[in-house]
């Protein structure tokens, strides 16, 4: 069992080891939907929600697999559980909050193949977090993801109005920006020890 | 390849698929897919190569399996089936790497497991193997896989060379070379990949330009 404090875990997963800018996880949505500020915010919200649910599921699943002594099934069952959780969550959100469902739109089903979600589940298992620690870790990861996405969307909205050379347009420009953002986030590495 | 590839055209040769994945449709440099693992483990050339080969193996096997099973899998549950096939293959590869080199396994960490959610693999399964025969799917996977290995290697080699002055752990730039440490850290990954993308785009526009100019003149 890991005995890091909750605050350290939160700061660690959201700022110091930001999932997008330090671990390069969830880059596809990061490059894909960071064009506009509102969609970026919604995507971040959806990812955070799914991360929290997936994290709780992964914790239960690990206990179950250890009980039946089959750790090699970890990956297969995790991906199946995440895929079905996303499906269930989609139905639940549609039933209980149509407004939120409309806001999230296509992003909810797409999240299944987002590597950040699976990574949250894998990292919390390998680090041996407890249930509460896992949830805080997932929340931090989600907040960090949203932060990176929103910052990037803001930058790209400004850049869209500027003149850039033709060869740089598109993914390359976004990657350059991400590199600079990543440099900025390295400044956080002193926080929390 | 002068013939435009549409579904109605006769099937092109399998070498075309191979070259297509390697260069014209290079998954990383041209299609910008599978970025996560590309950036995360490309800080040294050897890590990049190992990760590339692992991904390529999974890609080849999954494409083959999906192509062989394509008539048995019901359409409604195909994505889930693909993901389960891929996850089983990745588990095997993960155990295999653990058996071969525990150091390598530690260096690559959770990113081996994360091959499951690599968009390239699911993308090829859905986009190519689900509608094509085993042989063509195999060629396609080999081309795409080698393209991926090539891209990872380009990235890893540059990062290691600039970051610590060595290649595959062998000092190349002399003892007095001051390593550019930022290249080994996350920002360096973004910058080097951006550099390669720009280079590819530049070369592409350079070679395409004479044709379009000629077409514009007539």
Number of domains present in the structure of chain B: 1
B198 contacts in chain A (CB < 8 Å) = 167-168, 172
Which domain covers residue A44, as residue numbers?
A: 6-186
Which of B30, B118, B193 to mutate against chain A (most A CBs within 10 Å)?
B193
Q: What is the pLDDT of residue B104?
A: 84
Q: Which residues of A touch B (CB under 8 A)?
A: 21-28, 31, 72, 75-76, 79-80, 83, 113-115, 118-119, 122-123, 126, 166-168, 171-173, 175-176, 178-180, 182-183, 186
Whether ipTM tops 0.85, in short, is no
In a domain, B169, yes or no: no
Which domain covers residue B35, as residue numbers?
A: 14-155
Q: What is the pLDDT of residue B2?
A: 37
Low-confidence ranges of chain A (pLDDT < 50): 193
Nearest CA in chain B to A123: B110
Number of domains present in the structure of chain A: 1
Determine whether the interchain pair B32/A126 forms a contact, defined as Cβ–Cβ distance below 8 Å. Answer: no
Query: How far lies A61's CA from each of A74, B95, B109, B112, B127, in Å?
Result: 8, 20, 21, 20, 32
In a domain, B55, yes or no: yes
Q: What is the pLDDT of residue B129?
A: 85
| CB of B92 less than 8 A from some CB of A | no
With a CB cutoff of 8 Å and minimum separation 6, the contacts of B104 are: B46, B47, B50, B97
Dist CA A136 CA B67 (whole Å): 42
| CB of B31 less than 8 A from some CB of A | no
Dist CA B130 CA B126 (whole Å): 6
In a domain, A51, yes or no: yes
**Residue of B116, B122, B193 with shortest CB distance to A175:** B193
Determine whether the interchain pair A172/B87 forms a contact, defined as Cβ–Cβ distance below 8 Å. Answer: no
In a domain, B25, yes or no: yes
Low-confidence ranges of chain B (pLDDT < 50): 1-11, 211-218
Q: Within a 10 A sphere around the Cβ of B137, how many other Cβ atoms?
A: 27
A61 contacts in chain B (CB < 8 Å) = none
In a domain, B98, yes or no: yes
Determine whether the interchain pair A122/B187 forms a contact, defined as Cβ–Cβ distance below 8 Å. Answer: no
Q: What is the pLDDT of residue A192?
A: 58
In a domain, A90, yes or no: yes
A75 contacts in chain B (CB < 8 Å) = 87, 90-91, 94, 113, 116
Q: What is the pLDDT of residue A113?
A: 66
Determine whether the interchain pair B40/A25 forms a contact, defined as Cβ–Cβ distance below 8 Å. Answer: yes
Q: What is the pLDDT of residue B61?
A: 92
Q: What is the pLDDT of residue B214?
A: 43
| CB of B99 less than 8 A from some CB of A | no
> Would you say B23 and B147 are in contact if contact means Cβ atoms under 8 Å apart?
yes
In a domain, B82, yes or no: yes
């Amino acid at each position: 069992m890991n005995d890091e404090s909750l605050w350290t875990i939160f700061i660690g997963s959201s700022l110091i080891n930001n999932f997008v800018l330090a671990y390069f996880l969830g880059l596809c949505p990061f490059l894909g939907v960071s064009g506009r500020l509102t969609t970026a915010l919604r995507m971040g919200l959806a990812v955070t929600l799914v991360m929290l649910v997936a994290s709780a599921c992964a914790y239960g699943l690990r206990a179950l697999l250890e009980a039946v002594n089959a750790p090699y099934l970890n990956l297969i069952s995790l991906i199946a559980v995440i895929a079905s959780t996303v499906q269930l969550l989609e139905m639940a959100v549609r039933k209980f909050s149509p407004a939120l469902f409309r806001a999230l739109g296509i992003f909810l089903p797409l999240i299944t193949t987002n590597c950040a979600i699976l990574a949250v589940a894998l990292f919390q298992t390998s680090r041996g977090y407890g249930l509460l620690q896992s949830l805080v870790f997932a929340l931090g990861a989600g907040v960090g993801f949203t932060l990176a996405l929103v910052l990037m969307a803001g930058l790209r909205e400004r850049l869209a109005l500027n003149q850039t050379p033709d060869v740089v347009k598109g993914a390359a420009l976004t990657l350059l920006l991400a590199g600079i953002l990543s440099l900025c986030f390295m400044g956080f590495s002193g926080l929390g020890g | 390849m002068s013939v435009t590839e549409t579904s109605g055209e006769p099937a092109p040769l399998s070498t075309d698929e191979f070259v297509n994945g390697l260069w014209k449709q290079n998954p990383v440099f041209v299609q910008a897919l599978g970025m996560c693992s590309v950036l995360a483990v490309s800080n040294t050339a050897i890590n990049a190569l190992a990760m590339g080969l692992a991904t390529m193996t999974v890609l080849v096997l999954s494409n083959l399996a999906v192509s062989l099973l394509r008539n048995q899998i019901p359409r409604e549950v195909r994505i889930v089936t693909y993901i389960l096939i891929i996850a089983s293959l990745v588990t095997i590869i993960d155990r295999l790497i653990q058996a071969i080199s525990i150091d390598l396994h530690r260096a690559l960490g959770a990113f081996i497991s994360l091959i499951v959610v690599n968009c390239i693999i699911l993308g090829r399964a859905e986009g190519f193997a689900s509608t094509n025969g085993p042989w063509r799917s195999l060629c396609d996977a080999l081309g795409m896989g080698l393209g991926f290995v090539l891209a990872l290697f380009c990235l890893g080699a540059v990062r290691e060379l600039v970051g610590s002055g060595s290649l595959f752990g062998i000092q190349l730039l002399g003892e007095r070379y001051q390593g550019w440490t930022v290249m080994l850290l996350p920002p360096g990954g973004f910058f080097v990949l951006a550099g390669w993308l720009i280079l590819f785009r530049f070369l592409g526009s350079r070679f395409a330009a004479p044709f379009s100019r000629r077409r514009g003149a007539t």
